[in-house]
Structure 1
């Protein structure tokens, strides 16, 4: 099988490429240049796509003895992932750029280009498993719970999953992967993991948004409409946020307040007590379902997850046109924001995914 190995310059993708070679595939390594203004070096563990990362990927490819190329996907990345990130925050929603990157870049632009060039599959260093089943391939969680990435991969859907290879799917810890890299003589074996949003290398998301969207002063109000503070742009706030509110008037009962709503049309941020953040109903749109995942009709029991490293909670789920509906059957979820991904699981298996459009409290308190 001809396999295109996506090589970021980190240890995970290097070991994934090595395992693809070891499996007997014809492997070609590709580094995706996603930033228009790449730095020479990363800032510690922040960011990615630096010239240093491209060099590390090339050295790994040399050790493995495979061809290596750099593909400039920066314009596509800017037009899809970054533009979506800005538009979602501007609309008062909370996006997950890693989900959009997997959707539009790694398993759309990269995979489609690989297919056009005659490759059978794309291999990446994601921590997830593909399990063959009679109805088609299934996406499952990684045994490495701390690194599991099935949540951000759920958006890829069944057709793209059939052309994806995740060689790290069986590894239970990152230490095992680093040991594998060291054993193979890969210099990235001790390289720090990257974290945070890759295109916000300094970690200052609010500063990045302000640099792109400008200053837009407005009011912070409580749930009664009283002005309790000011902000420089409602787009910089997300439901559930507590820090950085700089409220001029404390709550009458002295309790902490959280962002409970962002209203972009009026450029208003609404704050209130923490109990207003608890929800047991979720609606999602742009749903993606995997083969054999849905029952014939109606509600079915499952677990749902709304954050990349959040805990799954029991729920009843049903598919609706272009979306899904969720009713939590156990604990409430706190601070669910429109724009987040809601992923549906049964055990380790991913059934489907949608983008949260609304979350609310339907269950009577008590």
Structure 2
């Protein structure tokens, strides 16, 4: 009997994943990850998706289903990798994706390493994605989840062949409505619990305040510049703005202005019209390939440059130092450094990287 450790956040997805694995005959152990200490989050700690009440919900589900439950303290690695990368990326003028960093360093990094060290066979999570194995190449493939509205394959592009071989996504073939129905039928306490929408360590989306608390000082101010370098006014803090942003600029201008560029050396933010945000090319680095060993020739794919974005057709081609250039069939709006870019071949994730 294979032993599966299921990462349990206290939400309905991971709880139903545990139930389905148990019904399939696996030996189950539940694991909740402690990612924060009180001093990390201040007064907002109970608003996060990893609060003490969430951990207790996970424990109660494990007790009801009758399998062991453990709490692993990964707060140090979370602070050193996810939070530190998040803060430093914003300070460089980029817009990072902390969920990707957490999956890479914590869930499928430190946690999977711990699971294998404990002689577990698989790590399971409640992600909406699917893993299959190619009958022609033998490679493990990452597919979109059946529920397109919940598909999380974008956040999982960094998974290696070794990680995919030891990972299970029990919800990959289900829709969210089905998951809630299963939870209700089996009396799970979180059947109607709302999904977390915010960055887990920055509830209500107030990432700027979190960064200022983490660094111990306010984000530096600087000038708003137009496209010619003329000063339009002063902004309220360098990290408070991201490419493509229009709201909250506070400038009395006749024409709408948007954030075009950020200069971390001078703390200047360049503004301009929406038309200046559209581009037909991006370059990405820190690539990870899933369906292919590496990109050795141009390839037609569809591309997502943000999780909420519908993918667009493009041709990707290899560059020096492992970088990749994507040339879109049609210009894309507000391509942003620091964000993940993920390439698809139909339902299959080809690979992905970080926009640079």
User: Could you say whether these structures have the same fold, taking a TM-score greater than 0.5 normalized by the shorter chain as the test?
Assistant: yes
1:234 to 220, 229, 238: 238
User: 2:273, 2:338 → 1: CA distance?
Assistant: 22
User: 1:312, 1:89 → 2: CA distance?
Assistant: 25
**8 Å contact from structure 2 (residues 291, 348) kept in 1:** no
TM-score relative to the length of structure 2? 0.94
Q: CA deviation at 1:99?
A: 0.6
**8 Å contact from structure 1 (residues 36, 74) kept in 2:** yes
Alignment-derived partner of residue 148 in structure 1? 151
1:236–1:40 CA distance, 2 compared to 1 (3 A): closer
2:224 to 220, 233, 245: 220
Q: CA deviation at 1:232?
A: 3.1
Q: Deviations over 1:170-213 (max 9, x none)?
A: 00x21110000111221110111111100012321222223234
1:184–1:41 CA distance, 2 compared to 1 (3 A): farther
Q: CA deviation at 1:291?
A: 4.2
SS at match of 1:303: strand
**What is the RMSD computed on CA atoms of the aligned residues?**
1.7
Residues paired across the two proteins, number: 348
Q: Deviations over 1:104-143 (max 9, x none)?
A: 1110010011111111110000000111213221000011
Q: CA deviation at 1:304?
A: 0.6
**8 Å contact from structure 1 (residues 288, 352) kept in 2:** yes
Q: CA deviation at 1:7?
A: 0.3
SS at match of 1:193: coil
1:74 aligns with 2:78: no
User: 2:224, 2:157 → 1: CA distance?
Assistant: 36
Alignment-derived partner of residue 287 in structure 2? 287
Alignment-derived partner of residue 305 in structure 1? 304
Q: CA deviation at 1:70?
A: 0.7
**8 Å contact from structure 1 (residues 283, 326) kept in 2:** yes
Alignment-derived partner of residue 362 in structure 1? none
1:347–1:294 CA distance, 2 compared to 1 (3 A): farther
Alignment-derived partner of residue 204 in structure 1? 206
1:339 aligns with 2:342: no
1:161 aligns with 2:150: no
What are the within-5 Å matches in structure 2 for residues 1-366 of structure 1?
Answer: 1-37=2-38, 47-134=48-135, 135-171=138-174, 173-213=175-215, 214-215=217-218, 216-247=220-251, 249-250=252-253, 254-292=254-292, 294=294, 297-320=296-319, 321-329=321-329, 331-357=330-356
TM-score relative to the length of structure 1? 0.91
SS at match of 2:223: strand
User: 2:130, 2:83 → 1: CA distance?
Assistant: 28
Give ranges in structure 1 of 5+ residues lacking alignment: 358-366
Give ranges in structure 2 of 5+ residues lacking alignment: none
Q: CA deviation at 1:235?
A: 2.2
Q: Deviations over 1:129-160 (max 9, x none)?
A: 11121322100001111110000011122221
SS at match of 1:155: coil
User: 1:291, 1:274 → 2: CA distance?
Assistant: 36
Q: Deviations over 1:27-57 (max 9, x none)?
A: 10000011111789976xx521111001100
